Structure 1
Amino acid sequence: MSGGGAKRVLEAWKLGVVKYGDALRLQERLVADRRAGRIPDLVLSLQHPPTYTLGKRRTDHNLLVPESSLGGLGAELHRTERGGDVTFHGPRQAVLYPILSLRDIGLGARRYVEGLESAMIEVASLYGIKARPGGACETGVWVGDRKIGAIGVRISSGFTSHGLAFNIDPDLGYFKHIVPCGIADKEVTSLRREAAVELPPDEVIHDQLVQSLARTFYFSDVKLKDDSECAEMMCSAATSQS
């Protein structure tokens, strides 16, 4: 990673709860803008309503219930072009979608993924949890044999989208309907389940993840995007066609 040169600021968009399809369209628009140099490196910080997503390998067999039954669970299914296998997003799970130029940061894909893992491990440590990276075969972040953070990224011409999902205190029952990330016989856990201390509000943990990600990738500061600008972009994404 490049640690020298001009001051580098990471822009952070705090979006609250966002429908998955709206977030996907927003990412596509922002990647195009970042590629054209119209916007700086940034990260979207948000949560999703209950949503299952499949990666570009389309491992539908790891969805353990019929797709037609997901509505009864209050969940949606989306097929995406990110890496990784099936996963779940839902309330009380911190999701970060970095829109970055890896060329500007001086990183390859593997080091980028390792950086996302490091950010989650650092935040877990703030609550007395010893987490570890999964390595090449079990990408993500683990506490023993229990997965606390998932990673699924898309890198197109050196520009990133999608990202990480860190379990603060989601309803873990949703994970019983999938083989999480295609890894059978392993549990999914959360910060709430593993921590021996009281947790702060979710927003604090979102902010800690953003700050950790910025440090990991050698940004000198984080600049919060104005709330009105975020609301305008989300409104535009919600009304646009995919």
Structure 2
Amino acid sequence: MNTLETEWLSRLDYGEAWELQRKLVKEIDREERSESLLLLEHSPTYTIGSDRHPEHLLYSKEELTRRGIALYEIDRGGDITYHGPGQLVGYPLLYLDAVGLDLHKYLRNLEEVIIMLLADFGIAGSRKPEYTGVWVGDSKIAAIGVKFNKARARRGFVTSHGFALNVKKNVEQEGFQGIIPCGITEYGIVSLETLTGKELQVEEIGHRIIPYFAEVFGYDKSTRAESLSS
């Protein structure tokens, strides 16, 4: 089995994490580093993906400054979304060989990891065919947006960006009211705390998601969780 390095980075500003991803993607391409899964929280941030619908941002620049919310136009797929404290963000940096490559399956696999985690809490996560992400009923609990970076040293791609899972209740109230999330108006947002009625810690959920990630993507489950440091 391929080696997967997992790292809990605690809270990191978005720009710093984005720069780190770009650095590690190059190292993985050159086989100077093992494939990696970065787990973290972000300071309050809106990111606009390659679909580029700035009209889905409802706050002015002045209001963003007043609220302390950063704004980035980035190179992942998708529309606008929110990242902030109380949300588990996962950045898988994986090499995908060009032989038999199915990019849509990669997205479905990310969804499956989160659906399996939700099942551990007795929650039925689901997909909506017209949208990428994970849903509970008609409320979105996890957003997914990725980039496939063409490898230069090998034939294939190295992934970056990834998923954002709403863990804490505060995520539902803080940030999402300033955007039309992913351009979707007909559905709402929900968190794991709201669904379980329990107080949860983001780092705890980070620990718990690793075995499911390892299972879906073919890594050794028994060693993955140990490599996430507190």
Deviation digits for residues 194-240 of structure 1 (CA, Å, limit 9, x no counterpart): 124x344321211112221111101114162678xxxxxxxxxxxxx
Distance 1:226 1:192 in 2: 23
Q: Once the 2 structures are TM-superposed, how far is the Cα of residue 166 of structure 1 from its aligned partner? A: 0.3
Larger % of strand: which? Answer: 2
Deviation at 1:68, TM superposition (A): 2.8
Say whether residues 1:216 and 2:210 are aligned partners: no
Tell whether 2:131 aligns with 1:128.
no
In structure 2, what is the Cα distance between the partners aligned to 1:212 and 1:105? Answer: 25
Q: Aligned with 2:97: secondary structure?
A: helix
* Cα drift, residue 105 of structure 1: 9.7
Instruction: Give the counterpart letter for 2:51 in structure 1.
Output: R
Q: Residues 10-25 of structure 1: matches in 2 within 5 Å?
A: 10-25=4-19
SS in 2 for 1:128: coil
Deviation readout 1:161-185 (Å, 9 max, x if unpaired): 0000000014322111111111112
Task: Provide the residue aligned with 2:154 in structure 1.
Answer: none
Please report the RMSD computed on the Cα atoms of aligned residues, expressed in angstroms.
1.8
Change in Cα spacing, 1:226 to 1:205, as seen in structure 2 (3 Å) is closer
Deviation at 1:104, TM superposition (A): 8.2
Aligned to 1:171: 171
Supply the AA of the counterpart residue of 1:153. V
Cα displacement string for residues 26-51 of structure 1 (whole angstroms, at most 9, x for unaligned residues):
00000011111111111100000110
User: 1: distance between equivalents of 2:194 and 2:228?
Assistant: 32
Residue 150 of structure 1 is matched in structure 2 by 143
The alignment covers a number of residue pairs equal to 219
In structure 2, the residue matched to 1:239 is none
The one-letter amino acid of 1:47's match is E
Deviations 1:126-160 (CA, angstroms, capped at 9, x unpaired): 1111110222x211000111000000000012110
What is the letter of the counterpart of residue 93 of structure 1? Answer: Q
Question: Which is further off, 201-210 or 160-169?
Answer: 201-210
Q: Note if contact 2:143-2:165 (Cα within 8 Å) is conserved in structure 1.
A: yes
Q: Verify the 8 A CA contact 1:124 1:131 in the aligned structure 2.
A: yes
In the other structure, the counterpart of 1:193 is 194
TM-score normalised by L of structure 1: 0.85
* Other-structure match for 1:42: 36
Structure 1 runs of 4+ with >2 Å offset: 104-107, 198-202
- Contact 1:15 1:45 survives alignment (8 Å): yes
Q: Could you say which residue in structure 1 is the equivalent of 2:52? A: 58
Q: Which moved more, 1:117-126 or 1:103-112?
A: 103-112
Structure 2 stretches of 5 or more lacking a match?
Answer: 151-156
Quick check: 1:138 aligned with 2:101? no
Offset at residue 124 of structure 1 (A): 1.1
Give the share of equivalent positions with the same residue, in percent. 35
Q: 1:116 to 1:68 in 2, by over 3 A?
A: same
SS of structure 2 residue aligned to 1:38: coil
Aligned AA for 2:132?
T
1:178 to 1:200, Cα distance in 2 relative to 1, 3 A: closer
Q: With structure 2 as the length reference, what TM-score do the two structures score?
A: 0.90
Q: Which piece of structure 1 moves more, 26-35 or 206-215?
A: 206-215
